[in-house]
Amino acid sequence: MDKVVVTGMGIISAIGDTVAQNRQSLKKGISGIGHAKHFVSKYTQLLPFAEIDYSTSDLKKKLNITQSGATRTDLLALYAFREAIADAQLETSSLVSRQIALIGASTVGGMCLTDELYADANKKGENGSEYLLSYPNSAGAMFIQAQYNIGGIVNTFNTACSSSANAIMFGARLIKNGLATKAIVGGVDSLAKYTVNGFKSLMILSDAPCRPFERDRKGLNLGEGAAFLVLEKEKDAAGKKIYAEVKGYGNSNDAFHPSSTSPEADGPFLSMQRALQSSGLHPKQIDFINAHGTATENNDETESLAMLKLFQTPPHFASTKSYTGHTLGAAGAVEAVNTILSLYHQEIYPSLNFENKIESTGLVPVKEYGSKILNNVMSNSFGFGGNCTSLIFGKI
């Protein structure tokens, strides 16, 4: 069967609004976590966030969007989408083909406008609100579809923090099963009161920049971002830059708890194991893992346990959430881009803010930037509700 490869990538996050800018921040150890300037919340001055340095009105101007009802989430998705299709040399006129799929992902969707929707609905009464159609988590994908009249399968995943990793897996499977020749896959989320208040109620937000896999970690920092990848068959990618092969993927659900993985790490272990099985690789053939690494008490310990169970001696690993914060439904795609950058440029970006290892596991993430021979890399995304997804990318 022909290989499914990545021929284009686009990203906007707190550390850059292009793929190249994100890479430079990762190389230089520059984090985007700090005080938010555009997000309005009672927690803005109390907690750090990984905010993109554009206001929503700035984004509308940059993208030349004038229509009403476009949310910050929609705009971030469109921003990353445009870079991805340009990078893959896709003509916009070709997107009407029924063989081109768009698979998005989001958990926030239009919830960034919850206050506006509430006020508008009360004002207009039975006439409804202009923000209503922008509210679902599928609104971002539908916004892009409307902009480009995309003719193939359009779908949206909402499996919490594994959402866009599942979008990537689904897109690759569409191509392998002959349901699309190209798939534009990724995800988006923006900062929103709804999610910030929810995470605050769970008591897992840190009042300082997050410290993945650190003994004294205090929790995660919420971020925002969007990333898209263009997937196609290797035989159709002649003359294009090829970043990586989508070599394997695995999904599981340990169904243990609404917001925690099981103490035995069943979900993370199975998703990584199934990704290896689908790729035909052995554990020792994985050279690096971009870990889910949220810096929460539960996740980092159980992910470490799962890596120890599967690999015995785990490969080098790190968490780029120490740069971008936790971008929720966008995390799988944002971190897939970061992982593919490691593979393509043969370099590893370190976890930030690490000092002491977790005593029960003894694992230490990569702490310094450096060059390394990489052939196969893994990216982990573990979501609330127990949905866990692992992706493996291989060097071409």
Q: Which residues pair with 288 in a beta bridge?
A: 316, 377
For residue 105, pLDDT over 90 is answered with yes
Q: How far apart are CA 188 and CA 176, in angstroms?
A: 25
- Cα-Cα-Cα-Cα torsion 43, 49, 51, 57, nearest 10 degrees, comes to 0
Element housing 72 (H / E)? helix 72-87
For residue 130, pLDDT over 90 is answered with no
> Is residue 35 among the annotated active site residues?
no
CB atoms within 10 A of CB 45: 8
User: Are 4-236 and 247-394 in the same CATH fold?
Assistant: yes
Q: Give me the catalytic one of 112, 316, 326, 388.
A: 326
For residue 44, the model assigns a pLDDT of: 94
Q: What is the CA radius of gyration of the chain?
A: 20
pLDDT tens across 285-338, in order? 999 999 999 999 999 999 999 999 999 999 999 999 999 999 999 999 999 999
> Is residue 345 among the annotated active site residues?
no
CA distances in angstroms from 130 to 67, 73, 135, 143, 336, listed in the order given: 11, 16, 10, 14, 34
The fold of the 247-394 domain, in CATH, is Peroxisomal Thiolase; Chain A, domain 1 (3.40.47)
Q: Which residue has the higher pLDDT, 317 or 386?
A: 317
Q: How far apart are CA 306 and CA 268, in angstroms?
A: 6
For residue 1, the model assigns a pLDDT of: 66
> Is residue 112 among the annotated active site residues?
no
284 pLDDT tier (thresholds 50, 70, 90): very high
b/e per residue 204-228 (b: at least 16 CB within 10 A): bbbeebbbbbbeebbbbbbbbbbbb
Q: Give me the catalytic one of 161, 210, 316, 388.
A: 161
Rounded to two decimals, the pTM is 0.97
The stretch 242-260 carries a mean pLDDT of 93
Q: How far apart are CA 393 and CA 63, in angstroms?
A: 31
Q: Report long-range pairs for 368-372 (Cβ below 8 Å, ≥24 apart).
A: 369/26, 369/27, 369/28, 369/29, 371/346, 371/347, 372/287, 372/288, 372/316, 372/346, 372/347, 372/348
Q: Where are the domains of the chain?
A: 4-236, 247-394
b/e per residue 149-168 (b: at least 16 CB within 10 A): ebbbbbbbbbbbbbbbbbbb
CATH architecture of the domain formed by 4-236: 3-Layer(aba) Sandwich (3.40)
pLDDT tens across 174-189, in order? 999 999 999 999 999 9
Q: Give me the catalytic one of 112, 292, 316, 388.
A: 292
